[in-house]
Chain A
Amino acid sequence: MEIKEETPVKAWKKALKFILKEGFNYKDHEGRICKEVLNLVITIRKPEKDTLAPIEEINSLRKWVYPSSEEIASSILNDKLISGYYYTYGQRAFNFKSGHEGINQVDKFVIPLLKKDPMSRKAIIVFHNPVEDSLLYRKEIPGIVVIDFKLRNKVLHVTAVIRSNDLFLGWPADLYQVHSLQNYVASKLECKAGSVTTLSISAHVFEEHLDDIQKILGK
């Protein structure tokens, strides 16, 4: 299934409706009932337009505490692993652990690569680290597995592959993070930021949030 919309909030609501309608139920490892569709593709043509609107809609429920937009963006733009977080996307992107060295996949690879060869198909950054994450007892591993950057006609399009994606509570933050990184790379390449596409391999919502989702969809 592919959803194409101008703005994040429209795409988000359409995706939620689709999961509610087409998703199948199953119990996850924590005993929670999920409604899931596989391989949901969402493309937002203008991600810069009201990027934070889905988060604001969640906050309007006044039920949970959502991290601030500053905290969300810094977690993908900051290369340091902050104590208390099991991992951060920023650390994986800018300081990916490989032996004793940290690899800066953004500044030392994607940006120089696209400067040198704008049409390159190699500009990806990887978040999954098999050395740390492919362990049976590991509980927390990155949801975003890879982000791909394509520079076409001086516009930077980005695709994020997300292995497991809570479409209700997680996707709004994922989109904001991917878009923040897209803006950063685009500014370095002196080009425009284009579309953002997310491929959610497991796109799901939890049964316990169904009432809240209905409230959001009813707005």
Chain B
Amino acid sequence: MHTTQQKILAIFRNKGSDVSTSDILSYVDPGAEDLQNRIKSIEKGEDHVDRAKLLGYKRELAKKHRKLLHHINKLIKKGLIRFTKFSSKGQKFFTLNLDDNEEIVADIKEGNEDAYKRRIVLSRPSMPAMPIEGYEQKEILVKFESSTFIDRLNSVIIFSDKFSSLNELYSSTVSLFSCINDAICLEGFDHFFYENSLKQLVDFVEKLNAECEDYGKKITLNVDIQKAIDKNLLLDFLSLYEKKQIENVYIIFDSSPEVVEANTDLFKRIIEIFSRSKSSLLIKNKEIQPAPYFFGRSGPYCLNKREWQFYSEELKNHRVLACSQASVLVDVNKLLKEYNQDTKKFDEFLLNVARALLAANTSQRRKAGEYFRKINDINRPFEAEFSILSRNYVRFWNYNLGNEREREFFLSLLEHSKKKIDAFCHTEETIYRSCGMPTRFRLAFACAFKEASEKLSEESYNKTEIKSFEDLEKKEIKKILGVREAICSIFDGGDRVGIYKSENINLDGAIKEIVFILKNYKIPLLSYNFKSIKGNLKLSHFFATNKNTK
């Protein structure tokens, strides 16, 4: 194949569909762009040259266009590309002549000794046959975002402190929307609560929120209040954040019981802000989970803490890391009904899930350079190993079974199966490593959120409500939190423990409750929720309740 034709195909690999002849020409022949610019500036009168020169430029450009069209026509004849439309100025547009699951394989330098290993491969993603399709038909299992199951990651972590400005962070974040189908974590966002103005911060979040709304993504800002931040700026920002009802950008406070106790004044004001808007205060206990934690539509995401600690030195130059490659959602109620507590069948089910995710990862890896080019662009020159900590997610829905015996059975089943799944993943990694293709294949268990899919069964969870600190001493609440703690230890991919405040807010009491929960239960992420509070809260209300507690 002629080199010009190879270059034309390459531009479709990078730009996708509908590419104009001018765009193709600029890519194929960089000199053409210079000619176009010269002609434009002469025609605008910015450049004074004689008419003969202008005609000369135009002739030269027309010649280049003719040459290009010759090669485009050849590609059309070969059935590789096709004409799509004329622009208003009469310019032609082309696209790849491909249907789903088709691919073009063109040998470069035919007859050349290197031809066998240098190929241009242009394709649309194909979904391999997977041993979970039967479960999908029974609606026991749902692929999260099945249309982009292979060609997108679920989530990535962006390290905010590697970006010099909010504008740079914003454009990089938005540019990754085409590589992910769920969530982005802006780790270390506290970095920006120092030198930026309130307006800049609010604009940033508002713009992101709007983009997330349009593109169906969720973003989490992780804020460590122990870092050098302007605390007044943070509080002003939170007030506006709550007032503007930002729904697609979450804030998680990276904290610990000790940090909360040492910063009670700040946390009281934060609680005040969140309770007034009746939303959730999200606190990560970094003593339990030092690695980034964040939310998507499908559920929570996190990295494995041991791996995070082990690799933090090696990964210190990366700006973006993959967190999750592909996810499936398991409807536990339906699963247990189908298998009637048959442990063997449950193991088999999860092994099939693992095999399916391995197949998905293999397909994804084949074209990772193409799918995740933007991640590589942002990480350059540290492109390699951006997925070194990434996992696949098996998310469980409706697992909080009412019957205590059923619940215990399910938890022990999960624990037992997790060990088997981990061993399977380990062996697959060994096989690939032994084959000289070391790659990562891990599975994480986590909870699913209702928004993950419309196909999930009706929610059957009970809210854990507390009125005051005394409730935390009650046997039933202790038991609930104990169960949640046990679930958190199995859900290595993340869980969200929600505590709903059902009575008026007493700031000292709230601090005491948060510290107590964080200190006494191994819960990595606490969602302290104010949605159940009745009536409107005014500033005077807090003064009154505070007085009452003294």
Taking beta carbons and an 8 Å cutoff, which residues of A are in contact with B?
30, 64-67, 71-72, 75-90, 94, 107, 137-138, 140, 142-144, 165-166, 169-171, 173-174, 177, 188, 206, 208-209
Contact = CB atoms under 8 A, between A and B. Distances in A.
A130 to B, nearest CB: 17
Contact of A177 (B117, B359, B436, B440): B436
Contacts of A206: 430
B439 A170 contact: no
A75 B359 CA distance: 17
A107 B114 contact: yes
Contacts of A166: 430, 434
B104 interface: no
A71 B314 CA distance: 28
A170 B430 contact: yes
A143 B432 CA distance: 11
B427 A143 contact: no
29 contacts: A64-B431, A65-B358, A65-B431, A67-B437, A71-B362, A71-B437, A75-B435, A75-B437, A82-B368, A83-B376, A83-B386, A84-B364, A84-B365, A85-B437, A86-B384, A86-B438, A87-B436, A87-B438, A88-B436, A137-B310, A165-B434, A169-B427, A169-B431, A170-B435, A173-B431, A174-B435, A188-B113, A208-B427, A209-B427
Contacts, number: 108
B355 A76 contact: no
A143 B433 contact: yes
B454 interface: no
Main SS of the interface on chain B? helix
B424 to A, nearest CB: 7
B365 A85 contact: yes
Instruction: Point out which of B364, B388, B424, B436 has the most chain A C-beta atoms below 10 A from its C-beta.
Output: B436
B114 A173 contact: no
B409 interface: no
B384 A81 contact: yes
A140 to B, nearest CB: 4
B176 to A, nearest CB: 15
Given A81-B384, A143-B433, A143-B434, A64 B428 contact: yes
Nearest to B370: A83
B453 interface: no
B433 to A, nearest CB: 7
Contacts of B364: 84
A101 B373 CA distance: 22
Interface string B360-383: 011011101100100010000001
Contact of B427 (A64, A76, A90): A64
A65 B437 contact: no
B387 interface: yes
B150 to A, nearest CB: 12
Contacts of A90: 117
B423 interface: yes
Contacts of A171: 434
Given A140-B438, A173-B431, 7 more contacts: A84-B361, A84-B364, A143-B434, A169-B427, A170-B431, A170-B434, A171-B434
Contacts of A88: 436-437
B436 A79 contact: no
B434 A77 contact: no
Nearest to A83: B368
Interface string B460-485: 00000000000000000000000000
A171 B310 CA distance: 29
B378 to A, nearest CB: 14
Nearest to A86: B438
Interface string B102-114: 0000000000011
